Amino acid sequence: MAGQANFSSGIAAGQIMQDAKRFIRSNLPVAAVPGIAEIRLHKALPSSRLGRLARGDAKGFGSPYWAYHWAGGLALARHILDNPGLVVGKRVLDLGAGSGVVAIAAAKAGANSVTAAETDPYAVAALDLNLELNAVAADVIAADITDSEPPPVDLVLVGDLFYSEALATRVTRFLDRCADAGIAALIGDPWRAPLRLEQLEEQARYEVAESGSPVPVAAGVFAFRPRGARFP
Ligand SMILES: C[S@@+](CC[C@H](N)C(=O)[O-])C[C@H]1O[C@@H](n2cnc3c(N)ncnc32)[C@H](O)[C@@H]1O
- CATH assignment at residue 43: 3.40.50.150
Mean pLDDT score, 8-17: 70
β-bridge pairing 3-4 and 143-144:
antiparallel
For residue 59, give its domain range: 3-229
pLDDT score, position 11: 61
Q: List, in order, residues 6 or more apart from 199 with CB less than 8 Å away.
A: 172, 224, 225, 230
Q: Cα–Cα distance between 156 and 93 in angstroms, integer?
A: 5
Residue nearest ligand 1's atom 4 by CA: 98
Look over the chain and give the mean of its residue pLDDT values, rounded to a whole number: 93
Sign of CA dihedral 209, 218, 223, 185: negative
Q: Cα–Cα distance between 98 and 38 in angstroms, integer?
A: 18
For ligand 1, which residues put their CB under 6 angstroms from it? 65-66, 70, 72-73, 95-99, 101-102, 117-120, 123, 144, 146, 159-161, 163, 167
Tell me which of 65, 174, 192 to substitute to probe ligand 1's pocket, judged by most ligand atoms within 8 Å of the beta carbon.
Answer: 65
Q: Is the pLDDT of residue 230 over 70?
A: no
pLDDT band for 159, please (50, 70, 90 cuts): very high
Q: How far are the Cα atoms of 66, 91, 135 from residue 192, in angstroms, in the given order?
A: 18, 28, 32
pLDDT score, position 232: 60
pLDDT score, position 38: 98
pLDDT band for 10, please (50, 70, 90 cuts): low
**Centroid of ligand 1 to alpha carbon of 95 (angstroms):** 7
Question: What domain count does the chain have?
Answer: 1
Task: Give the pTM.
Answer: 0.94
